[in-house]
Structure 1
Amino acid sequence: MNGIDWSNLSFGYMKTDYNVRSYYKDGKWSTPTETTSENIDIHMAATCLHYGQEAFEGLKAFRGKDGKIRIFRMRENALRMISSSHGIMMAELPVEVFEEAVIKAVKLNERFVPPYGSGASLYIRPLLIGTSAQVGVKPAAEYMFLVFVTPVGPYFKEGFKPTPVVILRGYDRAAPLGTGTIKVGGNYAASLAAGHIAHEKGYSAVLYLDAKEKKYLDECGPANFFGIKENTYITPQSSSILPSITNKSLMQLAEDMGMKVERRPILEEELATFEEAGQVGTAAVISPILRVDDLDENKSYVISKDGNAGSVSTALYKKLRGIQEGDEPDTHGWVTIVS
């Protein structure tokens, strides 16, 4: 279709046919409607531009071997956007409006859903912004919600292959009682400088330590962290970590596979004991970790001894992708079939 090389897509933006928008005014949301415009016309004093009233989500749709299109865990994304709205005082978008807009955007752009077996997917980006013109620091009275989609390849160019990550003690992603638990753009802006340094040094991401004590593992760049040892799936417990829907799904699948699951504080030194580790999120699903370098402390924790993904990470990755693409039974009701 349109000469797209589905198997060699990057994780980037490609123009599609439509996006879908809904507006909040006078206390109510409008019915989602489509547009072909890629631009947003907002006032220069909009609260999203000055006071960070902006939240977004990321989810994916997949085409199965049966030709059907499946959206993965859409309701969880809708609920997380509500949590983000509460965190920065935006109007709450009803779950039903979120789901209607997402399904509409996928159906209208059905020809951009990559074919089964290509390794690509349709990335879905819901966005909620404050649009009221204000100079005083207070919540907006009006909001816009939009959903656009774009076909994407792997988030990390290496795909499902272990990569090194780095601890940079001079940077924090979010404060313990700040906005780390909600999905707002400010968290990602705060990660850009450290991420740039990491990439310049040849690392795929930054593994952040907790901002308060610099002792415990927090998030891994744009993703959650997990470690595997003694048949246990271990992921950090923290007041500044975004609750990843992919991580939540993998914890359930680990339990289904007979593993123990622990969400608890993880000291940096425990990295030396993990048999496997990875970054998890919508974009990459699982990106296995090769090693973790703490440059300030001159320490290196080698996770993958042979340079390959571990057996548990591989099994979890295949199981989750199988559910997303319809090759595995959807026993937990995670998938919405749109066509």
Structure 2
Amino acid sequence: MTVEKKGTSNADKMDWDKLGFAYIKTDLRYVSVWKNGKWDEGKLTEDNMLTISEGSTSLHYGQQCFEGLKAYRTKDGKIQLFRPDQNAKRMAASCKRLLMPEISEEKFIDACVQVVKANADYVPPYGTGATLYLRPYVIGVGDNLGVRTAPEFIFSVFCSPVGAYFKGGLAPVNFCITDYDRAAPQGTGAAKVGGNYAASLHPHEEAVKRGFADCIYLDPATHTKIEEVGAANFFGITKDGKFVTPKSDSILPSITKYSLMAVAKEYLGLQVEERDVFIKQLDEFSEAGACGTAAVITPIGGIEYNGKLHVFHSETEVGPVTRKLYETLCGIQFGEVKAPAGWIVEAK
């Protein structure tokens, strides 16, 4: 492992209680280059700037993908990653979809652990609710002009401390249905690629201007089924106590969602169903939420559809099952609740 470091750390200047979800330059990041058919060993570097060819495929043709995961400080001071093997598998699938060289699970996890250990002073203290967010990414680079896969690639992992998502406590927010599509049928919806997020910027802005937290995307083929809630996955708790979440080839396979499915079944004893969720059948749910890495769970107070707001449990109070799901999964992530085998990787 090569380390390029010249400056000094600013970790001792952090105000953990004032962190938001924003970029903060940390001491070191990991960079590896794919050239002549293979990845190099990779190194840690202090430089947070990339210099790439103006012809890079990532700039012109969107040949890039990324991941998001967190490192958590436990009560006894340990630092642990939550299910990085699942992020590695998803990134490999995204790379395959975009004709980019895959990152092995071993290399991916090793890079993440190196970055966490090198920036350990930036992992927020236990009890603040704050975490160290990791952003692995792969981009196509090198001199190129035509629409083709890149001659070279960069795999990098950087990190930034982020604050507790809910500053005022877990609280429901409202969403609206959009007529825009997040992804095309048989497109890149199941891959974590930048183009999916670029396409969501305008619908999100429209929803916020109308007073909603974000918009909900329906399936692109029929516009009858819920797919994603902004940049997160949807789940609902039926009136007879089942945990239900949409199933579709154009939904990003959320690691948080699949973790919540396991928590619902193994910890809460709920029946779990991954299936179609029709927008006209919202009455079957007593609670609903959006789930993802950043917030874990964002409770959904209501969904506006065809000019009418359908309210679930409450617009002001979190449903009991949603709260228990949130507390249990957060407990696992911060080391307060025993995790299923293989879910935790300690950075040591």
Question: Above 0.5 in TM-score?
Answer: yes
Q: Quick one: which of 242, 256, 259 aligns to 2:270? A: 259
Instruction: Find the counterpart in structure 2 of residue 196 from structure 1.
Output: 205
In structure 2, C-alpha distance between the alignment counterparts of 1:154 and 1:183, rounded to whole Å: 24
In structure 1, C-alpha distance between the alignment counterparts of 2:42 and 2:189, rounded to whole Å: 29
Instruction: Find the counterpart in structure 2 of residue 313 from structure 1.
Output: 322
Q: Quick check: 118-127 or 147-156, which moved more? A: 147-156
Instruction: Find the counterpart in structure 2 of residue 182 from structure 1.
Output: 191
In structure 2, C-alpha distance between the alignment counterparts of 1:102 and 1:306, rounded to whole Å: 38
Aligned pair count reads: 336
Instruction: Find the counterpart in structure 2 of residue 290 from structure 1.
Output: 301
Report the TM-score when normalising by structure 2: 0.94
Please state if 1:68 is matched with 2:75: no
In structure 1, C-alpha distance between the alignment counterparts of 2:106 and 2:135, rounded to whole Å: 17
Report the TM-score when normalising by structure 1: 0.96
String of CA shifts for 1:211-253, please: whole Å, max 9, x gaps: 1111110100110000001111000111210000000000001
Aligned with 1:333: secondary structure?
coil
Q: How much is the aligned-residue C-alpha RMSD, in angstroms?
A: 1.2
In structure 2, C-alpha distance between the alignment counterparts of 1:51 and 1:335, rounded to whole Å: 36
* 118 and 24 in structure 1: CA distance in 2 versus 1, 3 angstrom threshold: same
User: 1:221-300 residue pairs with structure 2 within 5 A?
Assistant: 221-229=230-238, 230-256=240-266, 257-294=268-305, 297-300=306-309
In structure 2, C-alpha distance between the alignment counterparts of 1:238 and 1:43, rounded to whole Å: 37
Q: Quick one: which of 164, 170, 176 aligns to 1:166? A: 176
Contact 1:162 1:304 in 2 (8 A): no
In structure 2, C-alpha distance between the alignment counterparts of 1:142 and 1:159, rounded to whole Å: 45
**1:158 Cα deviation (Å)?**
5.4
**1:155 Cα deviation (Å)?**
4.1
Instruction: Find the counterpart in structure 2 of residue 324 from structure 1.
Output: 333
Contact 1:272 1:302 in 2 (8 A): no
**1:153 Cα deviation (Å)?**
1.5
Provide the identity percentage. 46
Q: Which runs of 5+ in 2 are unaligned?
A: 1-10
Aligned with 1:314: secondary structure?
helix
Contact 1:232 1:261 in 2 (8 A): yes
For 2:330, give the aligned amino acid: R
* 19 and 274 in structure 1: CA distance in 2 versus 1, 3 angstrom threshold: same
Contact 2:172 2:314 in 1 (8 A): no
Please state if 1:31 is matched with 2:41: yes
Please state if 1:21 is matched with 2:21: no
String of CA shifts for 1:110-154, please: whole Å, max 9, x gaps: 000000000110000001001122111111121100000000014
Aligned with 1:129: secondary structure?
strand
String of CA shifts for 1:173-216, please: whole Å, max 9, x gaps: 10121000000000000000001111122211211111111111
In structure 1, C-alpha distance between the alignment counterparts of 2:341 and 2:233, rounded to whole Å: 22
Instruction: Find the counterpart in structure 2 of residue 118 from structure 1.
Output: 128
Contact 2:67 2:136 in 1 (8 A): yes
In structure 1, C-alpha distance between the alignment counterparts of 2:246 and 2:279, rounded to whole Å: 11
Instruction: Find the counterpart in structure 2 of residue 98 from structure 1.
Output: 108
**1:319 Cα deviation (Å)?**
0.8
Please state if 1:137 is matched with 2:137: no
For 1:268, give the aligned amino acid: I
For 2:284, give the aligned amino acid: T
**1:8 Cα deviation (Å)?**
2.6
Q: Which runs of 5+ in 1 are unaligned?
A: none
